[in-house]
Structure 1
């Protein structure tokens, strides 16, 4: 994607203006030339043909066009000593100035052509009948024209390099945005999958149990209780899915508020005390950090209800300068403490997506889970 062009460049690009004026100067010089020597006119004609070839190839084949323009500068220089007027000098200067300003040829090639024109200006003076000072003056003029052209060339090269760098930067930014979008989609899909897989899996088990109670034992009361539990699981799964979507969309008021709501649900459903408090100055977090910490807290509370029912749970959220830390602690029976596990793999994977880490272990009769996310 190119940058915006100015109005003059939109009407007529700079390169076209230079080509048109150069053609006008070459034409005017040829029309006003006072020359009676046929071979000099032949050199002028060849030089004009090289100029026209340069015009035709400049945009499509810049290397060949530059070589043609270099020849257009050298051909009239051969006639500098034999020309009857200043037409040879003017044609050489016009072509050399344009050649020195091109970005396609290397600087070494430009200096070689310039040195060639200056050498011809000096070496042909004996046949001109003019004093040597004039020949050296012509060579000095051609050197000055070359230096001016090379200086302009440097500006052109820097501008082209800046445009290329800008284009590469834009392409890199577009690729980064695409990669970020794919990562976000993957993360959202994983979160929704985790919630639905957990809820629907448990729901399927309960429904299979209810079917077995009815088909094999005819135990309607047990089957009815199982169906009611299934309905509760479905409602909980729907609530968890809504919470996950809200967290991904950042519709929740704050992480601390969402954790407080989780604690309240745990108190209500499991009739177990949950002590939750937040330390530090709360701040807005990314959806990745929010979802990963909410998922960790939900999994830790589920494990506490499973392995230490009715036991009190302590949950703390710390806001530090460069990270957010969540600690969950609950008493644990000795026989359970030796098992370990408790869905730790899922917690670590969830936190790793947000660049976070997880530490867990048994200490002083309690199970500790500590999640940290840089934010």
Structure 2
């Protein structure tokens, strides 16, 4: 949230009052009479501060000239130097360092030239005055460094927010792909079965069962899509990720008369958290989706083995294999999920063995994902993990 800056004239007005009143009292205390030309010079320094946002360098040079004018008139040391000090700090902080240091050097040189007219004031206070100017410049340098560091922190924070937004979009796109691709593939298969039954087998019970499966799959898919898209609402509650206990249901939806899927639920150690379980579920889901859509397989197996060191996920089939096809969004999404957890994903031949393998079956494909145990799991972030 941005903060509103103070009006431009506030600072000059305050300094003008301080310089006029302070110089008047200082002169009265010393028994000095202020010449008429002192008033314009006392107002010139604060007035030049109106340039601080557009021309900070010339502002510093003008303030130095006004301060020298006050010295030439013999005004008491002190109040009239305030606007000059502020101008130096603002010029350095704004990045006009050479203007500021040049104005300070010019003020110092001019002070030495005016030393004979200052009635002993400069000889008494000159070294202190010059030291004061250097201290003011160093304060300006500190302010500049602080301002640059604050700007760098803001840039880093903004970059971090953009990175988080990009990560969230990537996770959302990956989850939508996984859910929609799987759901539409299952509905397509079930619709094909229904059409086949309608054309070849007039059995109403079988046709009703196939249509019921389509309805059930579409309802389940709609619910999953709603869960994924709910992260776009800032007021939506955090929805739990997918659990390994849901894998048998997933396998059951994929299995059919044309495709048998073998799966044995694993024992789940305590270290396997929501991130790991969601990743394993989505990997199995996408791998089974690819089998249904592309493999032309009749047999598949899902193996999930988890010990105290890692989780090993394998999904294999006896289909046509990957061949020379490029890696698509599904495989890329699986690889990204595994890499986010520090693991790896490999592709190889199915190697299901001869048992119950149809004649002329292809080499198949085996997807192997290895996810190591996290020793110090961080707090779960919904924007990073999706649903």
Settle same-fold status: TM greater than 0.5: yes
CA distance in 2, matches of 1:325, 1:346: 22
Contact 1:293 1:351 (C-alpha < 8 Å) held by counterparts = yes
Cα-to-partner distance string for 1:199-225 (whole Å, 9 max, x where unaligned) = 3323443454456x3xxxxx6626774
Between the aligned partners of 2:178 and 2:302, the Cα distance in structure 1 is: 25
CA distance 1:187–1:122, shift in 2 (3 Å): same
Alignment of 1:273-352 (within 5 A): 274-278=263-267, 282-286=271-275, 289-296=279-286, 298-299=288-289, 307-308=297-298, 313=301, 315-318=303-306, 321=309, 324-329=311-316, 332=318, 339-341=320-322, 345=328, 347-352=330-335
Task: Tell me how far 1:192 sits from its aligned partner.
Answer: 3.3
Contact map agreement 1:348 1:358 (CA 8 A) in 2? no
How many pairs are equivalent? Answer: 340
Q: What does 1:196-275 correspond to in 2, within 5 Å?
A: 196-209=183-196, 213=199, 221=202, 225-226=206-207, 228-239=209-220, 242=223, 251=240, 254-255=243-244, 257-262=245-250, 274-275=263-264
Q: Which residue of 2 aligns with 1:359?
A: 347
CA contact (8 A) 1:206 1:229 kept: yes
CA distance in 1, matches of 2:18, 2:207: 96
- Mapped partners of 2:193, 2:352: distance in 1: 36
What is the SS of the residue equivalent to 2:349?
Answer: strand
Residue 145 of structure 1 corresponds to which residue in structure 2? 132
Going from structure 1 to structure 2, the CA distance change for 1:78 and 1:110 (only over 3 Å counts) comes to: farther
1:48, distance to aligned residue in structure 2 (A): 2.4
> Residues 265 and 304 of structure 2 are in contact (CA less than 8 Å); yes or no, is this contact kept in structure 1?
yes
Compute the RMSD of aligned alpha carbons. Answer: 4.6
Instruction: Give the alignment's TM-score, normalised by structure 1.
Output: 0.68
- The answer as to 2:62 corresponding to 1:68 is yes
Match for 1:370 among 343, 367, 373? 367
Higher helix content, 1 or 2: 1
Matched, 1:187 2:174: yes
Q: Deviations over 1:67-122 (max 9, x none)?
A: 4323222322344xxx3xxx154466334433333223644333333333333333
Contact 1:19 1:55 in 2 (8 A): no
Instruction: State yes or no: 1:100 paired with 2:88.
Output: yes
Distance in 1, Cα, partners of 2:113 & 2:80: 15
Once residues 72 and 367 of structure 2 are traced to their aligned partners in structure 1, the CA distance between those partners, rounded to angstroms, is 86
d(CA) in 2 for partners of 1:116 and 1:363?
86
Query: What TM-score do you get using the length of structure 2 for normalisation?
Result: 0.66
Structure label with greater radius of gyration: 1
CA change 1:58–1:23 in 2 (3 A) is farther
1:223-279 Cα offsets, whole Å, 9 max, x none, are: 774454343344345446656767997546732x22344456678977876444357
Q: Distance in 1 between matches of 2:280 and 2:260?
A: 26
- In 1, the alpha carbon distance for the partners of 2:248 and 2:150 equals 53
Structure 2: runs of 5+ lacking an equivalent = 230-237, 340-344, 355-363, 373-387
Q: Secondary structure at the match of 1:205?
A: helix
